[in-house]
Amino acid sequence: MNPTDIRKMVVGDLWTNSTAYENTEYVVDHFGNRFMGTESERKAKDHILGLFRAYGLENPREEPYRYTGWKRGPCKVEMTSPVQREIWAFAHPHSGSTPPGGIEAEVIDLGKGAQQDFEAHAGRIKGKIVLASTGWHPGQSYFLGHRVGKHGWTSDAGGVGLMIRNETPGGLIETGTIATGYRNTGEIPVVGLSFETGALIERQLKKGPVNVRIDMQNEVSPGTLGWNVVGEITGTKHPDRVVLVGAHFDGHDIGQEAASDDLLGAMVVLDVARALARFKGAFKRTMRFVAFGNEECLTVGSTNYVAQHENEIGNLDMMINGDGLGRWPNPFFCVNNPPELVGPLSRLVGEWKIDAAVGVSDTRNPAWCTSTDNHPFTMKGIPTMVISGRGRASALGTAGRGAAVRDHTICDTMDKIDKFVVKQYAILLAELLVALAQRDEPLIRHSSKEEVLDAVRKYGYIDALKAQRRWHPDSTLGIR
C-alpha cells in the first residue's frame, strides 16, 4: 500500500477512535498520578507495556534505570510576624528539609525572581527566605526564570529558603521539581504558594519586615528504580535509521490525576503507534515509540535513555517530544535544535498538507526548552522538536498556571481534556510520522558538540545552566 493510502487509513482510524482519551482515563482512574518512586508509577508502567504488546509493536520492552528519588514528608509554613497566619503550601519535589522545629527567617521579595533580580539584590539575600513568582521578564526566555534556577540562585546567595508564588490568581499552587533529579538533590527548603498567599505576604512587606517559619521533612531516596517503556515498527529499507517519538507518562503528586501533563501525551503516542502498527512492513525507516519515566524531576527517564543508548545516537534521525500532545488547542511543531530544521520541516509539512504551524519559538515555547525530554537529545546533537499547542500562550496573561494552563496544579484533571483536540494531535503526529518514515534521507544532519555548546552560549543559557547545576560541557548530558 502506498503512503498516501496508509495515511488515509490511519487518519480514519484515529478519527473514529477515542483510544488515547480512554487509555488516559483508565490509567488515571486505576493507578493515580504516577509520581516518581511510587506504586502508581510502577503499575502504570506495567499497563503501558501491556498496551505496547497488545498493539503489536515490535520489541516491546521496559528499560530500567536508577536515580536519586525523593519522598514528600510533612510540610508546615506559617507567617510569624507581623501577624500570625498559617500558610497553605506544598514542598517542591526534591526540596531539602529543615532541621526539626523548622527555620524562621525574614522574607525578601525578589518579584519574578529571574537571574537579574537575584543579581540586583545580591548581598541582601543571605540568611533570608526568598519570595519569588513563577514568572520571568517580558521578552525573556522562560528558561531564565525557571524554578530550578531560582533554587540555585537562592542557594548561591546564601538564602535559607525559597517560596515560589503562582503568578496566576485562582488559589492554586504550582508545583515542580527544583533539582536535576537524576544526579542532584535540592539544597534548601522550597515551597509553592498560591497567588493569593503571595499577595498577603507582599501586603505585609509594604508595612515592614515579615518573618516566616518553614518546617518540613522530606526524604531523599538514592538508587530509586525507574523505567522507560519502548516499542518499535521496523523500517524495511533503512531498519537501522530511527525516528524516535516519546512523551512522559509520570506526573506530579499534588493532584490525584496529572492527566494532561503528560500521561495524555504518552497515550496519544501509543495510540498513533497502534494505528501505524497495522501497516508494519510498509515504512522505510524505523519508528521508535517511548513512554518516558520521570520527566518531572527533571528529564530523568530521557536523560538515562540517551546515556544508555550512546552507541546508537548517530542512528537517530530525529527526536519528537510529545510533552503537550492534546493538551492545548492550536497545534504547533516547535523546532528545538538546530533552528535550521524549520526549513526542511516546513517543506515536508507543506508537501503533505499537514495542518500544523511550524516555527522555532516564542517565550512560552523556547527553542531551547531545557526542562522537558528533548533536552538530553538536543545536548547530544540530535535534531529535536516538540509538538505542543500555541493555545497556552494566549490562555493566560501571566506566567503562572491556573485552570486554563492547569498542568503542575491539582486541577490537571480529566474534565479539562477536550476529545476533539486529542484526536487532532494524534492525526497530526501520525501524518508527520508517515511522511518521515517514507524518506530516504533524514531532514537534517546532527549538530556537533561544538555547535550545541555554541548555541547554548548564544542563547545566554550558561549561567542559568550553572544555577541549575546542569552545566557539564565535558559530558553535555550531566551523567558521567
Smallest distance from the beta carbon of 249 to Zn ion, in angstroms?
A: 10
Q: Closer to Zn ion by CB, 167 or 262: give it.
A: 262
β-partners of residue 63 are 228
The site for Zn ion (CB under 5 A) is made up of: 261-262, 323
Smallest distance from the beta carbon of 403 to Zn ion, in angstroms?
A: 18
Q: Closer to Zn ion by CB, 6 or 20: give it.
A: 20
Smallest distance from the beta carbon of 414 to Zn ion, in angstroms?
A: 16
What's the rounded Cα separation, in Å, for the pair 229 and 474? Answer: 29
DSSP per position, 356-417: -EEES--SSS-TT-TTSTHHHHHHTT--EEEEEETHHHHH-SSSS--SSS-TTSTT--GGG-
Residue closest to Zn ion, measured at CB: 262
Strands 331-337 and 285-292: unpaired
Smallest distance from the beta carbon of 10 to Zn ion, in angstroms?
A: 26
Smallest distance from the beta carbon of 259 to Zn ion, in angstroms?
A: 12
Smallest distance from the beta carbon of 373 to Zn ion, in angstroms?
A: 8
Smallest distance from the beta carbon of 268 to Zn ion, in angstroms?
A: 13
The DSSP output letter for 237 is S
What's the rounded Cα separation, in Å, for the pair 309 and 436? Answer: 22
Q: Closer to Zn ion by CB, 13 or 261: give it.
A: 261
What's the rounded Cα separation, in Å, for the pair 430 and 449? Answer: 31
Q: Closer to Zn ion by CB, 80 or 256: give it.
A: 256
β-partners of residue 78 are 86, 213
Cis previous bond, 463, omega within 30: no
What's the rounded Cα separation, in Å, for the pair 435 and 274? Answer: 17
Q: Closer to Zn ion by CB, 407 or 431: give it.
A: 407
Straight-line distance from the first to the last Cα atom of the chain, in angstroms, rounded to the nearest whole number: 46
Q: Closer to Zn ion by CB, 323 or 431: give it.
A: 323
Q: Closer to Zn ion by CB, 210 or 258: give it.
A: 258
Query: Going edge to edge, which strands form the sheet with 161-165?
Result: 85-87, 75-81, 211-216, 103-109, 129-133, 161-165, 190-193, 90-91
Query: What are 339's three cell numbers?
Result: 533552528
Smallest distance from the beta carbon of 260 to Zn ion, in angstroms?
A: 9
Q: Closer to Zn ion by CB, 109 or 323: give it.
A: 323
Neighbours of 397 (CB within 10 A): 7
